[in-house]
Structure 1
Amino acid sequence: MGPTLLHENITTKESNQRDRSVRAVQPNVRTIKYGLNSFMYNGAKIWNSLPINIKCTATCKHFKYLTCNWDGPECACGACILCV
């Protein structure tokens, strides 16, 4: 589900864990301007930080509602996968 442009710019990898979530692959970057600030990098980072209940919603309208009311990742340690 989603626009073709998103599918062309963000690659995904299915997880081997029980939840069967799909993780977006963050590309390796060399620069800040065209790497860390790119849509491909930040889109994958945000998608991977979403909780599983938001990723698995049935409708686009419900997905939009949940993401608008989401406060971000719960952890703020700076070392785990949610914070990196």
Structure 2
Amino acid sequence: MQKIRPDLNIGENIQALRYASGLTQEEVVAKMHLMELSISKSTYAKIETNRMNIKVSELLALAKIFKVDISEFFRGLA
């Protein structure tokens, strides 16, 4: 029987990339709204703390906002 792998916890990487970009959570959420992605600050905070899974559309938006390749979100994860 194959074991089910847990979801990758990328929240810490998202937070680190936000810090490196010099943005607040509010600024990131505002930029996502400009990209027509409806997300609350509370939901975004839950993503950074791994209490909520991120949608692919949100991940793609964050890559654009932070000006990084998608692979940066998975750095150091196995």
TM-score (norm 2): 0.28
Please identify which structure carries the higher helix content.
Answer: 2
TM-score (norm 1): 0.27
For the pair shown, the structure with the greater C-alpha radius of gyration is 1
Please identify which structure carries the higher strand content.
Answer: 1
More relative contact order, 1 or 2 (CA 8 Å, 6+ apart): 2
